[in-house]
Structure 1
Amino acid sequence: MPGWARAYVRWVEGLNYRIGRIVIYLLFVMMAILLWSSISKTFFLPSLWTLEMAQFTLVAYYMLGGPYSMQMGMHVRMDLLYSRWTRRQRAWVDAFTIVALLVYLSVFIWGGISSTTYALEYNERSYSAWAPLMWPIKSLMVLAGVLMLLQAIACLIRDIAITRGEEI
């Protein structure tokens, strides 16, 4: 594989690894929000913001954690035949499915940019009592989609290297 391809894979995987290791702790943030929600409902007035904030935290957790889980091979895979194949056969199948993922992610990012632009232009808010602005979570989803796209390309490059008998 060319040097630029190896550098790209190392850079993207390093970035997504660091982000993924930080995002792991958002689970504790969400737990703290839900704990506060329980405490405030029991002893004080119920908080208006806790449910949506917990949902936004969960969205950040799984969207930003996606590229990390893809990099680590922790995503769900149908293992009827896959485990019996050689490493090279797996790489061929993975490369084919990653191409489909790239198409999906392109559409996802395009729609996300459109939705984020709308949220910014019209100062879109959630239809709840708290009514938070929607552009921050929509922007985060676009960022996560871009990171997943970069990781998918890195995985594709890695799979192509494996089909050629090389390692990155």
Structure 2
Amino acid sequence: MKAWSMVELVIDSISEIMGRIGWLIIFYVMSFGIFDVIMRYFFNSPSLWISVTIQYAMVLLACVSGAYALNKEAFVKLDLFYAKFPPRVKAIVDIFTFLLTFLYLYVLITKGIEAAQASFKLKQTTPTAVPIPLYHLKAIIPFGVFCVLLVAVKKLVIDVQTVLGIERE
């Protein structure tokens, strides 16, 4: 089990790094969003690139924040019945939920890789006055989803240990 503890530590570190990247993205979006509004409304000088990069950053934020949110259990849950279950029953429900989660993440990863490959082949850019490459962003999407999958697998192992009554280190 010592090896699994190391794997958990690596997964936790990855999700923490993703969360910190997300924080930087939020800071970027807030800073440049405010700057763009000030330039547009007070100086009548809108930028050509800020709004596009903010949209780019918001997609990037969705990619990097999923693993962090799942690891910190920050997603909204419908706890109507679930909250009253004992830990072992919660773990069993979570194991069944993992099957749906895995299917969803598998589709996102495979279709994301296909979209990224097509985007790289086409050297896809934004259709704006300032063409910003999109293929980098499309390549990050499957990576972010893979990080979410790592956290989901970690949680699955914890749930299996709970069901089997194995003590956690």
Q: Deviations over 1:106-126 (max 9, x none)?
A: 110111111111111111112
1:45 Cα shift?
2.8
Q: Distance in 2 between matches of 1:11 and 1:134?
A: 29
Q: TM-score, normalised by structure 1?
A: 0.91
TM-fit CA distance, 1:128 = 2.4
Contact 2:19 2:64 in 1 (8 A): yes
**In 1: Cα distance, 2:120 partner to 2:62 partner:** 23
Question: In terms of mean alpha carbon deviation, does 134-143 or 74-83 score higher?
Answer: 134-143
1:78-111 per-residue CA deviation (whole Å, 9 max, x = no partner) reads: 1110110001111111111112111111110111
Indicate whether 1:136 and 2:136 are aligned.
yes
- Number of aligned positions between the proteins: 167
Alignment-derived partner of residue 19 in structure 1: 18
Q: Which moved more, 1:71-80 or 1:33-42?
A: 33-42
> Which structure ranks higher in relative contact order (CA pairs < 8 Å, sequence separation ≥ 6)?
1
> Aligned-pair distance for 1:74?
0.9
Q: Compute the displacement of 1:77 (Å).
A: 0.8
Could you tell me which residue of structure 2 aligns to residue 4 of structure 1?
A: 3
Aligned twin of 1:39: 38
The root-mean-square deviation of aligned C-alpha atoms, in Å, is 1.6
Check the 8 A contact 1:9/1:158 in 2, yes or no: no
Question: Is the partner of 1:24 in helix, strand or coil?
Answer: helix
Please list, as runs of the form range in 1=range in 2, the aligned pairs for 1:1-168 lying within 5 A after superposition: 2-42=1-41, 43-166=43-166, 167-168=168-169
Q: What letter is aligned with 1:6?
A: S
Q: Is the 8 A contact 2:18 2:67 kept in 1?
A: no
Identity %: 23
SS at 1:25 equivalent = helix
For residues 57-88 of structure 1, what are the alpha-carbon distances to aligned partners after superposition, in whole Å with 9 as ceiling and x for unaligned?
12222321111111111111111101100011
Shift of 1:134: 0.7
> Separation in 1 of the partners of 2:115 and 2:62?
19
CA 1:132–1:22: 2 relative to 1, 3 Å = closer
TM (norm. structure 2) is 0.90
CA distance in 2, matches of 1:93, 1:52: 41
Where in structure 1 are there 5+ consecutive unaligned residues?
none
Equivalent residues of 1:5, 1:157 under 8 A apart:
no
Q: Is the 8 A contact 2:22 2:61 kept in 1?
A: yes
